[in-house]
Amino acid sequence: MGKRTSPERWENIERIYDSALKLDPQRREEFLREACAGDEALLKEVESLLACKGEADALFDSPAWKGVAELEPDKTPPPNLTGRTLSHYRIVEKIGEGGMGAVYRADDTRLKRPVALKLLPPDRVSDPERKRRFVKEARAASALNHAHIVTIHDIGQEEGVDFIVMEYLAGQTLDRVIPSKGMPLDKALDLGIQMADALTAAHSAGIVHPRFQAYKRDRERQWAGEDPRLRTGQARGGT
């Protein structure tokens, strides 16, 4: 289990984070280097907060029902790209879709191998700063080498579509694997340990999923006693 951040260190993280937000992106990197003064763990923590800002703010500033309501209005569904070719990746079939975009199985026509192609929604990368953070995070994630973390092969843009090329793993998603009446304890522990091991490896490299980053920030504030909403049980997001 990782070491809990002290209230004093969290206060320092918050101070640097808030100051960095007020700066232009061009000046931010130099400021962070100076403010963190060689503390690489501190630098990674602040950079991770900044990279997750959009997703974390959405969780902190809006009630859950509001976030759902904003997704409900009819929108033109993204086109199904099955049969098309992006760069040298021939799209075979759609295999999933979520808030971060649609995922397709595709053929890498150069290396003759199956890959998973995640197409990012335009609003995720339309802003230059968000695009820069996306590229930076993708590069960091591509350096991970772990049995339980999917390998990132490439990132690209073709015909106005931004995409991530990942290792294709055949199998079932957790919602298909977990029985309706629950999973036996030994199997649940086995899967949980694998996921925790992967998260530990990612966190050690300074990569934190937005949902975990938001939760962590919420909990750190509670431990530090800095958020009166948490002391009175009024904070959004639950336990």
Phi, psi of 98 (to 5 degrees): -155, -165
210 pLDDT band (50/70/90 cuts)? low
Listing from the earlier edge strand, what are the strands of the sheet with 89-98?
A: 85-86, 89-98, 101-108, 113-119, 161-167, 152-158
Position 207 scores a pLDDT of 74
Which one-letter DSSP state was computed for residue 20? H
Residue linked to tokens 């199997």: 187
3 state DSSP class of 221: helix
56 pLDDT band (50/70/90 cuts)? very low
Q: What is the pLDDT of residues 151-199, one digit of tens each?
A: 999 988 888 888 999 999 888 888 888 888 888 999 999 999 998 998 8
Mean pLDDT in residue range 51-56: 55
Q: What is the pLDDT of residues 88-145, one digit of tens each?
A: 999 999 998 876 678 999 999 999 999 999 888 777 667 777 777 777 777 877 888 8
Position 34 scores a pLDDT of 92
Question: How do strand 85-86 and strand 89-98 relate by DSSP bridges?
Answer: antiparallel
Statement: the pTM of the whole predicted model exceeds 0.75: no
In this structure, how many other beta carbons lie within 10 angstroms of the beta carbon of residue 74?
Answer: 5
Strand locations in 47-191, DSSP E?
A: 85-86, 89-98, 101-108, 113-119, 152-158, 161-167
Query: Are the beta carbons of 198 and 146 closer than 8 angstroms?
Result: yes
Cα–Cα distance measured from residue 6 to residue 38, given in angstroms and rounded to the nearest whole number: 19
3 state DSSP class of 98: strand
Describe the chain by its helix, strand, coil percentages, rounded to 5. 50, 15, 35
Higher pLDDT, 41 or 87: 87
Provide, rounded to the nearest whole percent, the portion of the chain with pLDDT above 90.
19
Cα–Cα distance measured from residue 217 to residue 150, given in angstroms and rounded to the nearest whole number: 26
Position 145 scores a pLDDT of 85
Question: Which of the residue ranges 10-14, 35-39, 141-145 has the most confident prediction, judged by mean pLDDT?
Answer: 35-39
> Is the predicted pLDDT of residue 228 greater than 90, yes or no?
no
- Domains of the chain with CATH codes: 1-77+209-239 (no CATH), 85-167 (3.30.200.20)
Strand locations in 22-160, DSSP E?
A: 85-86, 89-98, 101-108, 113-119, 152-158
Q: What is the pLDDT of residues 72-84, one digit of tens each?
A: 444 555 678 899 9
Position 53 scores a pLDDT of 58
